Amino acid sequence: MIMVKAHAKINLALKVVGKREDGYHLLESIMMPLELHDRVEIEILPKGFDSFITCDDTSVPTDENNVVHKAFAEMKKRFNITQSFRIHIHKIIPLSAGLGGGSADAAAVINALNRLLKLNLSEEQLIDIAYRVGADVPFCLFNHPAYVSGIGEKLEKINFKDHYHVLLIKPNEGLSTRQVFKDYDDMNLNTFVNISALKEALINKDDEALAKNMVNDLEIPAINSKPIVKEIKDKLFSMGFNKVLMTGSGTCVFCLSNDLKALQKAQKELQPFGKFVRITETL
């Protein structure tokens, strides 16, 4: 049996740059891995058994609707895998949050099978598998800060050495990624997201420029549907934090800070905003 950590991610910026004919949106983003993680266990089963997925969170589907199922099916088809496996997900990352929990689990399965079966896949091979499974899966393979573009398949690692504590506030309400993108298209927005400036801010350790350029194109449609996202952001701003943003397609809001005590105080005050209010850190 092998156990792999499946780390959550946050988007420090997210820019929608276009849409392909097949409906997939082209994006640019700066993504950061977090210490917060699920655990994925994979065990080879004896001959005669079928592969199956289990999860200790009953709200998580374990059939073909789970992206882990899609990742396993892609690996099985591509490498003619005949062994059967039990895949168990110990779920910590909240659902419908924009934290990439499902993508992280799928990436963990790809990495685990690569190790278990000694496939010795290159980064390019891993990415080619991962982006066919989901947009955030390639990033989740490596757990390294990166500039991500295309539909998630283009990765440029960023040597970012600063460390932040991260407060995550996930409202009880979630959002459908597909619906948020549809709303974004319908609203015909023209927000300004300067990915290059944010990248430079990270490399140069410029906190002020980092805060200024943390922008997410999907925030406006998300807030339009779930105003609590703005309420959480406004509360954090009122407490003096400046590096605050909704991650991905939401609804989780995060706050970066080097002041752990201030975040712990904020954590207590923001408990009424959701069941998942937790402090973690950048990886």
136 is catalytic: yes
22 is catalytic: no
To 10 degrees, what angle do helices 123-133 and 67-79 make?
Answer: 130
Q: Which is the catalytic residue, given 105, 136, 183, 217?
A: 136
Q: Which is the catalytic residue, given 9, 91, 199, 235?
A: 9
The letter for the amino acid at 208 is E
CA 3 centroid distance within chain = 20
Residues serving a catalytic function are 9, 136
